[in-house]
Amino acid sequence: MSVAEIQLKLLAPEQIPAVIALEQAATEFPWTQKMYIDSLAAGYWGGGLWQGPRLVGAAVVSTGVGEAHLLNMCVALEHQGQGYGRMLLAGACQQAGDEGARKMFLEVRAGNGRALSLYQSVGFRQIGVRKNYYPGALGREDAVCMALNLCQ
């Protein structure tokens, strides 16, 4: 499969079920259909990463007054570890910058080492911790709050 066949495209509402199926298989804590519908209706950017006809990942970003928030990001389980997360994140940052954001913020579960490594590797820095922020299978889990300057 060549790199040319990989494309990041705006998510359409009718693609939400495919994103949900991908996310339910890839993470213990997927977004609900309502979260996607509400996000797109609010005008947030939703991006789908496609390898030919196959959806391999998706991300949602809200942008306003010079700041962006990466609200969700997921790569299909069978495609993880192949660079798609990095591509998706780069596309989300590019999109946010194009919409005028100078900074990108995100929150990530403290136990999500894979996502933390990815974010740190592109320059996100920890700016705080929200204690017991997320519900989890074994009780509440902290959120690590991170930020990245988009204008270097």
Ligand X SMILES: CC(C)(COP(=O)(O)OP(=O)(O)OC[C@H]1O[C@@H](n2cnc3c(N)ncnc32)[C@H](O)[C@@H]1OP(=O)(O)O)[C@@H](O)C(=O)NCCC(=O)NCCS
Residue 73 interacts with ligand X (CB under 6 A)?
yes
d(CA 62, CA 102): 13
Least distance from ligand X to the Cβ atom of residue 23, Å: 7
Which residues does 99 contact at the CB level (< 8 Å), separation at least 6? 45, 63, 68
Residue 32 or 100 having the CB closest to ligand X: 32
Among 112, 123, 136, 145, binds ligand X (CB under 6 A): 112
Least distance from ligand X to the Cβ atom of residue 97, Å: 19
Least distance from ligand X to the Cβ atom of residue 27, Å: 4
List, in sequence order, every residue forming a beta bridge with 47; answer none if it has no partner: 10, 59
d(CA 36, CA 142): 23
Candidates 11-19, 44-52, 83-91, 124-132: pick the segment binding ligand X (CB under 6 A).
83-91
Query: Nearest Cα to 30, choosing from 40, 39, 21?
Result: 21
Instruction: Report the interface residues with ligand X, using CB under 6 A.
Output: 26-27, 73-75, 80-86, 108, 112-115, 117-118, 121
